[in-house]
């Protein structure tokens, strides 16, 4: 695979082709077979204790030149050098000593040397050699058994260690104090508290419970089995606590299990008892300080280390590095790293992980290149860190490169590496590669299943995510909240309420319904438009948090229950729950849906008062809210106030201008956005095309549809085509619009035909309208709005039989027309009116006012245009029906209930009819009131008898 630079400033590729991740070669020291003179044992033992492997072998080698064969080194000499090889994990040199012992015929009857060899092979990680040697021994002592048990434990085979211990007991070999630490460690690794407790009883019975090493092992075992009470009771019962190892065992137990406060309290108690800390204490306490509020104590320990005369050990420096990284002090961590003279793999990996943990992914990649440039060997830990960084950056190419490196060096067989690779491909959107890695994993755990299901769900492969979820259940995987959350995301996205109910039932049966999942269930039912289920689930949540309230507010808002969303928001405040950013965005959207300007301003003031940052999604929502409330001037002010304008904010401003008929202004915003260096997306172009449509900018609409394809390689959605069709049709270019639809590169959707049909009715092109109506009903037979449009086409021609047929088809399918409804905000309440509505408390006053308005307009020359009443009734009935339209009731109520200086703001769920449009223009003129009406298409600003739409809507 070709290698690319991660950064322009780096001269190194991510993975060097020449970097071979092979085990480091251990130098081989040749040993003569015959010693020249007897070895001076005391001096040689001291030399081995000093830990210099090369010098020890040179000294050992000199004894074999011209030496009498009868003068062989003693067992103690071999023992010393084997212990050195074990401590240095020098396997090659250990094998040479073994060979020398064999050629000297010393091992055949020396239980002592064979035991030392078993110990050496175990420490060097070659279990097979240790076990073969152990099995071949004709005689064994307790030391031999302990060496082999210890080899199993230190090489991650605790179960085999316990099995061997049981075999030893069957062989009637008596245990000693050294047996317990290994077996207790095995119990801790297996989290087998029962067997650990049994070993504790045996230690008491054998009288080893007073042995400090045994007690420390017991403390460690209890803590690893999560029995901290048992560990602490045992520690507190110790009569003498002057051994720092005992304190370290307890401190490390607390630290490694996230119980920082207990660890630090114990550390203070240790200091008060006058026990001096050592390097292991430092590491344990620094591990407890890996939270920001404990950073100060960690810095004090760092200062104490600097003041001490001794040299700071590398593992202490590594612990400091990790502490600073976890506390967000990555600069201090990097300084610590640079000051380490002899860095080990832990140092490099800790620094790399620090960058990733602090979301400095680009810096992590640059650092990784530095690691390679310096010739360091990467391992599983560094691979996990760099793949995590590449996944979060969406850097697929380099991610595949590292994956190839992991395969080459067999790291991909590691479970954690495999899980991280799956996550990387999921975050990069490469679902096929992600699935292949998952399928080829030799071993899968809960994280593997959860990651691959989440990857599918987050990348739009909802069916695949649910299939994997079912497969996991069939294979007996014990699912958790995260996996269920991903499955619910898939169900919500598919709007599959039956699957949501099934998963809900499964959670109830398995007892998995915690607060997080309860909130997710509310979200899921809301996404599936099951408001009643969502509301009932919300009511059942006992300890509602901010997410619970926000989920229900969003559920109401997204499903058209804006009033309920606002009421719930106020109830949330009464319950003493402080809203978060998501809740605020949801309630702002509810205000926008209702065009409730006063409430919107209250929410805006609340945001300012509570110190919310008016940036990002909040700023975009406020811009959108003011625009939907008919106060686009406030949208402009807020837009200009925001310092960091992102793509969503620019798109919101383009949309705000467009919906108010200011198409030229929308285009101006679009070009300013381009000048700011932002790249438009599909939503931006959709807002721009809507703006062109509302303002009749035909040439501009054509140009921008071509621009998104040619300049930005964005394939138009059906909604983009529908905008252009709507634009052409509204401009009476019906033939061109029809030709455009029939020649589209993709199959026209119902939305495209719907846009054309609406224009056919407006411009009375009944012949084309009938063709389009039939096509629309064929494509989308379950949308009641399509039947209404088709019915209106037939009604405008007086084809009442066809109208009855269409309405019968609607009833047969169980479909109902959405009734016309208008809203107006008066006082501190949003009032709703249906057609010919008489449910309002001031209904009589409203109708009386409407009669006065109509009489005055008729005196001024107003004549009702009954052609807009598409019902087979008499003219007088048509006039009466027009007079009962919901927006007229709202206007009358607005004239009654609002000051003369205040604009009347009305929202309607359907398109304003032609007669009501004329009516409202005349009201604005003769009653000298500005009226702002938002219908399903756009805004109309009526003032002085003129509408901002120019009668183009």
pLDDT over 50 at 1, yes or no: no
118: β partners: none
pLDDT over 50 at 72, yes or no: no
The reported pLDDT for the residue numbered 354 is 92
Closest among 193, 191, 161 to 179, alpha carbons compared: 161
- Indicate the SS3 state at residue 932: strand
834: β partners: 821
668 in Cβ contact with 680 (< 8 Å): no
For residues 853 and 260, which has the higher predicted lDDT (pLDDT)? 853
- SS3 of 752-779: HHHHHHHHHHHCCCHHHHHHHHHHHHHH
pLDDT over 50 at 13, yes or no: no
pLDDT band at 341 (very low <50, low <70, confident <90, very high): confident
Lowest-pLDDT choice from 33-37, 593-597, 613-617, 880-884: 33-37
Residue listed under structure tokens 């407790």: 197
- What does the alpha-carbon distance between residue 641 and residue 625 come to, in Å, rounded to a whole number? 16
pLDDT band at 631 (very low <50, low <70, confident <90, very high): very high
Mean pLDDT of the 386-403 span? 93
C-alpha 645, offset from chain centre: 24
740 in Cβ contact with 724 (< 8 Å): yes
The reported pLDDT for the residue numbered 29 is 42
> Is the CATH number of domain 343-443 1.25.40?
yes
What DSSP designation does 343 have?
-
pLDDT over 90 at 847, yes or no: yes
Mean pLDDT of the 213-231 span? 88
Over residues 922-944, the pLDDT tens digits come to: 999 999 999 999 998 889 999 99
The reported pLDDT for the residue numbered 73 is 56
Mean pLDDT of the 781-791 span? 85
The reported pLDDT for the residue numbered 40 is 55
- What does the alpha-carbon distance between residue 804 and residue 790 come to, in Å, rounded to a whole number? 11
885: β partners: none
For residues 108 and 59, which has the higher predicted lDDT (pLDDT)? 59
Written as six digits, the tokens of 129 are 């050699």
Lowest-pLDDT choice from 736-740, 754-758, 842-846: 754-758
243 in Cβ contact with 273 (< 8 Å): no
Domain coordinates of the chain in residue numbers?
343-443, 717-817, 822-947
Sign of the dihedral defined by the CA atoms of residues 32, 33, 35, 39, in that order: positive
The reported pLDDT for the residue numbered 244 is 86
pLDDT over 60 at 9, yes or no: no
pLDDT over 80 at 399, yes or no: yes
Over residues 404-434, the pLDDT tens digits come to: 999 988 888 899 999 999 999 999 999 999 9
- What does the alpha-carbon distance between residue 868 and residue 871 come to, in Å, rounded to a whole number? 9
Over residues 443-470, the pLDDT tens digits come to: 999 999 999 999 999 999 999 999 999 9
173 in Cβ contact with 142 (< 8 Å): yes
Closest among 499, 458, 453, 500 to 472, alpha carbons compared: 453
The reported pLDDT for the residue numbered 309 is 76
pLDDT over 70 at 298, yes or no: yes
Sign of the dihedral defined by the CA atoms of residues 546, 550, 553, 555, in that order: negative
Percent of the chain with pLDDT over 70: 94
pLDDT over 60 at 900, yes or no: yes
Q: pTM for the whole thing?
A: 0.69
368 in Cβ contact with 352 (< 8 Å): yes
- What does the alpha-carbon distance between residue 237 and residue 255 come to, in Å, rounded to a whole number? 21
- CB atoms < 10 A from the CB of 311, how many? 9
Residue 846 sits at the vertex; the CA angle it makes with 842 and 852, to the nearest 5 degrees, is: 150
Over residues 182-198, the pLDDT tens digits come to: 999 999 999 999 999 99
Over residues 531-568, the pLDDT tens digits come to: 999 999 999 999 999 999 999 999 998 888 988 999 99
Residues 6+ apart with CB under 8 A from 349: 379, 381, 382, 385
Highest-scoring range by mean pLDDT, 64-68, 498-502, 863-867, 947-951: 498-502
What does the chain come to in residues?
Answer: 953
pLDDT band at 260 (very low <50, low <70, confident <90, very high): confident
pLDDT band at 4 (very low <50, low <70, confident <90, very high): very low
- Indicate the SS3 state at residue 147: helix
The reported pLDDT for the residue numbered 63 is 63
The reported pLDDT for the residue numbered 89 is 87
931: β partners: 904, 942
For residues 298 and 18, which has the higher predicted lDDT (pLDDT)? 298
Written as six digits, the tokens of 112 are 């002592």
CATH architecture of 717-817: Alpha Horseshoe (1.25)
- What does the alpha-carbon distance between residue 911 and residue 726 come to, in Å, rounded to a whole number? 14
For residues 946 and 764, which has the higher predicted lDDT (pLDDT)? 946
- What does the alpha-carbon distance between residue 333 and residue 521 come to, in Å, rounded to a whole number? 42
343-443 and 717-817 share one fold: yes
Dihedral, CA of residue 901, residue 903, residue 904 and residue 906, to nearest 10: -170
pLDDT over 90 at 711, yes or no: yes
The reported pLDDT for the residue numbered 70 is 47
Average pLDDT, the chain: 87
């Amino acid at each position: 695979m070709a290698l690319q630079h991660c950064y322009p400033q780096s001269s190194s590729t991510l993975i060097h082709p020449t970097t071979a991740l092979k085990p480091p070669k251990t130098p081989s020291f040749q040993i003569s077979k015959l010693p020249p003179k007897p070895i001076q044992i005391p001096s040689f033992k001291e030399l081995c204790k000093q830990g210099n492997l090369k010098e020890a072998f040179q000294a050992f080698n000199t004894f074999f030149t011209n030496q009498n064969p009868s003068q062989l080194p003693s067992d103690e000499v071999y023992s010393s050098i084997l212990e050195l090889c074990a401590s240095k994990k020098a396997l090659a040199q250990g094998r040479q000593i073994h060979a020398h012992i064999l050629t000297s015929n010393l091992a055949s009857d020396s239980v002592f040397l064979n035991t030392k060899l078993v110990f050496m092979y175990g420490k060097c990680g070659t279990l097979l050699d240790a076990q073969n040697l152990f099995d071949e021994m004709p005689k064994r002592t307790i030391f031999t058994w302990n060496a082999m048990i210890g080899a199993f434990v230190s090489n991650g085979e605790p179960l085999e260690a316990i099995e061997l211990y049981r075999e030893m007991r069957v062989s009637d070999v008596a245990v000693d104090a050294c047996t317990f630490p290994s077996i207790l460690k095995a119990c801790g690794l297996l989290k087998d508290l029962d067997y650990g407790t049994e070993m504790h009883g045996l230690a008491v019975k054998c009288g080893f419970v007073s042995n400090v090493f045994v007690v420390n092992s017991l403390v460690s075992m209890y803590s690893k089995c999560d029995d901290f009470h048992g560990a602490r009771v045992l520690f507190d019962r110790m009569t003498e606590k002057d051994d720092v190892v005992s304190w370290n065992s307890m401190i490390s137990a607390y630290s490694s299990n996230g119980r920082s406060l207990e660890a630090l309290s114990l550390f203070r108690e240790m200091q008060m008892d006058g026990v001096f800390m050592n390097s292991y204490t430092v590491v344990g306490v620094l591990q407890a300080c890996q939270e920001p509020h404990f950073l100060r104590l960690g810095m004090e320990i760092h200062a104490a280390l600097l003041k001490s005369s001794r040299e700071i050990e590398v593992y202490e420096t590594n612990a400091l590095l990790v502490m600073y990284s976890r506390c967000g002090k990555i600069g201090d961590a990097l300084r610590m790293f640079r000051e380490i003279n002899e860095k080990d793999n832990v140092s490099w990996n800790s620094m790399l992980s620090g960058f990733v943990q602090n979301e400095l992914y680009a810096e992590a990649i640059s650092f990784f290149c530095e690691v390679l440039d310096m010739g360091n060997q990467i391992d599983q830990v560094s691979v996990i860190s760099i793949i995590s960084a590449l996944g979060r950056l969406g850097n697929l190419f380099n991610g595949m490169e590292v994956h190839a490196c992991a395969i080459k060096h067999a790291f991909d067989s590691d479970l954690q590496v495999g899980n991280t690779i799956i996550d990387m491909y999921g975050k990069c959107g490469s679902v096929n590669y992600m699935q292949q890695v998952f399928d080829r994993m030799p071993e899968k755990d809960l994280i593997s299943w959860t990651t691959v299901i989440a990857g599918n769900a987050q990348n739009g492969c909802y069916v695949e995510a649910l299939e994997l979820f079912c497969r996991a259940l069939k294979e007996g995987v014990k699912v958790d909240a995260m996996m269920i959350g991903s499955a619910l995301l898939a169900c919500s996205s598919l709007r599959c309420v039956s699957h949501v109910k099934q998963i809900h039932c499964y959670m109830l049966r398995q007892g998995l319904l915690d607060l997080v999942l309860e909130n997710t269930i509310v979200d899921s039912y809301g996404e599936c438009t099951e408001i009643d289920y969502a509301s009932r689930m919300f009511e059942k949540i006992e300890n509602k948090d901010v997410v619970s309230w926000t989920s229900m507010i969003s559920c109401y808002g997204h499903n058209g229950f804006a009033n309920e969303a606002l009421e719930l928001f106020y109830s949330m405040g009464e319950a003493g729950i402080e809203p978060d950013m998501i809740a605020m965005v949801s309630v702002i959207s509810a205000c926008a849906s209702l065009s409730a300007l006063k409430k919107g301003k209250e929410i805006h003031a609340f945001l300012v008062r509570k110190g919310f940052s008016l940036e990002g999604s909040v700023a975009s929502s406020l811009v959108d809210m003011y625009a939907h409330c008919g106060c686009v001037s406030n949208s402009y002010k807020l837009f200009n106030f925001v310092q960091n304008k992102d793509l969503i904010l620019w798109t919101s401003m383009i949309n705000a201008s467009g919906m108010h008929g200011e198409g030229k202004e929308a285009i101006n915003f679009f070009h300013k956005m381009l000048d700011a260096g932002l790249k438009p997306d599909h939503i931006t172009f959709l807002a721009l095309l809507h703006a062109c449509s509302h303002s009749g900018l035909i040439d501009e609409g054509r140009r921008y549809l071509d621009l998104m394809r040619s300049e930005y390689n964005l394939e138009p959605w059906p909604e983009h085509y529908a905008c252009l069709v709507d634009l052409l049709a509204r401009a009476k270019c019906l033939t061109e619009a029809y030709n455009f639809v029939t020649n589209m590169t993709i199959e026209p959707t119902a939305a495209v035909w719907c846009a054309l049909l609406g224009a056919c009715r407006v411009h009375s092109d009944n012949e084309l309208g009938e063709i389009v109506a039939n096509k629309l009903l064929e494509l989308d037979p379950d949308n009641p709005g399509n039947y209404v449009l088709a019915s209106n086409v037939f009604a405008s021609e007086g084809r009442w039989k066809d109208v009855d047929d269409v309405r019968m088809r609607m009833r047969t399918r169980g479909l109902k027309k959405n009734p016309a409804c208008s809203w107006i905000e008066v006082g501190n309440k949003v009032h709703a009116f249906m057609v010919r509505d008489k449910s309002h408390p001031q209904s009589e006053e409203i109708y009386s006012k409407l009669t006065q308005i109509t009489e005055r307009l008729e005196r001024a020359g107003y004549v009702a245009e009954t052609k807009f009443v598409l019902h087979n009734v008499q003219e007088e009935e048509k006039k009466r029906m027009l007079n009962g339209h919901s927006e007229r009731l709202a206007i009358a109520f607005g004239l009654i209930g609002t000051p003369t200086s205040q604009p009347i703001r009305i929202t309607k769920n359907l398109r304003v009819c032609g007669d009501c449009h004329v009516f409202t223009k005349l009201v604005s003129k003769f009653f000298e009131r500005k009226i702002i009406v938002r219908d399903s298409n756009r805004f109309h600003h009526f003032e002085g008898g003129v509408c901002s739409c120019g009668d183009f809507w």
